[in-house]
Amino acid sequence: MSSLSETAKRLLTQSLNLKAGETLLVVSDGTRPEICEALYQAGIELGAEALIIAMKQRAKSGEEPPRAVAAAMKSADVVICPTQHSLTHTAARKEACKQGARVATMPGITLDMFQNGPITADFEEVAALSRKVADRLSAAEQVRIEKDGAVFTFSLKGRQGIASTGLYRESGEGGNLPSGEAYIAPLEGTAEGTLIIDGSIVGLGLLNSPLTLTVKNGLLTEAAGERADEWLGKLGDSAEARNVAEFGVGTNHKARLTGVILEDEKAFGTIHIAFGSNATFGGTVEAGVHLDGVMLKPTVYFDGKLFMQEGKLIEEE
């Protein structure tokens, strides 16, 4: 177990390149006091001008922070947000990056994740593997996923893989922490077959038994299994919501399956498929919803060549 202080210092230096004399702003919603205090103290010890600003907890992810918080974010060099709900897709975060801030959002982060889980990974190793997998996604045109007899295929033609490295060291860079995934938007309308989601799924958390999802012409048509109807209710029934939006590969060896998607989708040996929006990362669909499902130990082929065998990445020859 890493101490809170050690982890906070390593995060601020390795991920965000915090330097003495810079302004560090920790945005709190009152739900993660130990993490916020550890980051604040680490910033002080690293010679930064560190501040904590506390706001009322937001009602949902994407809700804007108060104007005073948004203004403070714009004037800081480094901003970190250990909150319950995500500030990633807020205008406040985007404007802060436009002004040159380096921003890390940590929606749903837990003390356990911070001390024992994905935040303790080697940031450089995670970044290198994420870039490598993203390059392989970019090079692939056809994907085939197999698990327990179920087969799922889609096209990636013309789409670019994205590495979520967790390194936000240059002016204006930002993203989620913990990180460690490579992801891509499948070509709309091309996904076909059956998916077995047996790890976790946004809206339900850890799964006691798998969900079996049927897809035709790129859209989810059916979900079967315990709590399937509950999950479909959260997803919605519009064509946009049912769109196969994302294919992702976990690249963080320290990430575990906890029921918090921030960690689950980063777990090494897993893949995830999301439904809904993908317009922000190379797709064409804006749905107002984006729900990921994590699959354990899948077998995956890129253009007929084995990429992952029961969760084990196959190195290129």
- Tell me: pLDDT of 170 over 60: yes
Residue 176, C-beta contacts closer than 8 angstroms, at least 6 positions apart: 86, 88, 104, 105, 106, 107, 164, 166, 262
**Token pair in block for residue 14:** 């390795």
For the chain, give every domain's residue range: 4-116, 123-313
The radius of gyration computed from the CA coordinates of the chain, to the nearest angstrom, equals: 19
Residue 33, C-beta contacts closer than 8 angstroms, at least 6 positions apart: none
Q: In this predicted structure, what is the pLDDT of residue 112? A: 93
Share of the chain above pLDDT 90, in %: 89
Using alpha carbons, list the distances in angstroms from residue 183 to 113, 163, 179: 22, 7, 12
Residue 300: pLDDT band (50, 70, 90) is very high
CB 61 within 8 A of CB 29: no
Q: In this predicted structure, what is the pLDDT of residue 14? A: 94
Residue 2: pLDDT band (50, 70, 90) is low
CA angle (277, 281, 284) in 5-degree steps: 55
pLDDT, average across residues 255-272: 94
Residue 289: pLDDT band (50, 70, 90) is confident
pLDDT, average across residues 47-67: 94
CB 266 within 8 A of CB 180: yes
Q: In this predicted structure, what is the pLDDT of residue 245? A: 96
CA nearest 88: which of 77, 96, 76? 96
- Tell me: pLDDT of 151 over 90: yes
Q: In this predicted structure, what is the pLDDT of residue 271? A: 98
Provide the mean pLDDT of the chain.
95
Q: In this predicted structure, what is the pLDDT of residue 90? A: 86
Q: In this predicted structure, what is the pLDDT of residue 291? A: 92
The Cα 184–Cα 198 span in angstroms is 21
- What pLDDT digit, counting tens, does each position of 114-136 carry? 999 999 999 999 999 999 999 99
Residue 252: pLDDT band (50, 70, 90) is very high
The Cα 24–Cα 6 span in angstroms is 17
Say whether domain 4-116 belongs to CATH 3.40.50.510: no
The Cα 231–Cα 222 span in angstroms is 11
Residue 280: pLDDT band (50, 70, 90) is confident
